[in-house]
Amino acid sequence: MALHRKDFFGLRDLTADDIRYILSTAETMKYILNQKNKKAPHLQGKSVIILFYEQSARAKLSYELAAQHLSANVVDMTNSAHSMERESLQDMGQLVDQMGADFIILRHPMAGAARLLAECVEASVINAGDGYNENPGQSLLDLLTIKERKGSFEGLKVAIIGDLLHSRVAKSNIWGLTKLGAEVCVSGPPTLLLPGIEKFGVQVHYDVREAVNQADVILTTRMRMEAQDKTFLPSLDEYKRFFRIDHNLLRYAKEDAIVMHPGPIQRGIEISDGVIDSPQCIINDQIANSVAVRMAMFYILSQMGGALA
């Protein structure tokens, strides 16, 4: 069986078979979600702690629903985490661990936070996003959505457009897609591309039209324009002129290309209104898959041991 570990940090550490196993398990969980009674007993009597040091209502809700559908007890400690910011992550983790937690879902602004926490707790730690490193849960729901629409990853051309420097989802998607056999092309403002990104096994295009040329899938990132980001890009208007996904740009992609976004989307910036409202944009499919993927992550870790042994 794949994934012989107690924690889940990201896709970089996984094999192609590991990823396929998670996706097939998520498909089984979708079957459960389609039943009138969505409850399954796999985590009955277990405790899941939500520990988000960064806000994300969508991600938090999907983890909560996933745990509840598997009959776990869920405690949201997000407010406690923010009120105890001076307490170290290890101290907070050990506090939760000593109270009998079986899972800790951690979202943290520091890259490597999930690994740091996992070293000092018996509970299984799931990385819900760590700094600019990875966001495996979002990536896996993206992969499941692509698999449902395209059937296979072999031979697919996937274009990832936008801010690859700050997007942890983009990094997770690159690891996952390349391992599964897809051809990945990236494009974005040169200041927002990772240094040495070619080493990830992707093709880099500074002209976005070349990146989306004959693409089967177009993945966009969320653009930020906070004060510290103005050193990377003067304005969102400049980004829109060159990198926004609109119908003119889609003419270069395959006729049946799909457009995806991790959310929350900024209408008219990353993707034009016309494309968002078209059948090619499958953001709703991504949202629908979010709970099933998190259920699969819980279920697989529950079979591996850790605090659940």
Binding-site residues, in ranges, read 58, 107, 138, 168, 222, 263-264
**Binding-site residues for carbamoyl phosphate, please?**
58, 107, 138, 263-264
Q: Annotated binding residues for L-aspartate, as ranges? A: 168, 222
Q: Give the strands of the sheet with 124-130, arranged side by side.
A: 73-76, 47-52, 103-108, 124-130
- What are the φ/ψ torsions at residue 16 (nearest 5 degrees)? -60, -40
- The closest of 258, 223, 263 to 240, measured between CA atoms, is 223
For tokens 């399954």, the residue is 40
- Fill in the DSSP letter of residue 194: P
Cα–Cα distances in angstroms (integers) from residue 142 to residues 135, 147, 153, 308, in the given order: 11, 9, 12, 28
303: phi then psi, degrees, rounded to nearest 5 = -85, -15
Whose CA is closest to 225, among 140, 171, 173, 163? 163
Q: Which residues pair with 52 in a beta bridge?
A: 107
Locus of tokens 């869920």: 74
Terminal alpha carbon distance of the chain: 16
What backbone torsions phi and psi does residue 157 show, to the nearest 5 degrees?
A: -105, 120
Is residue 221 within 8 Å of residue 169, measured between CB atoms?
Answer: yes
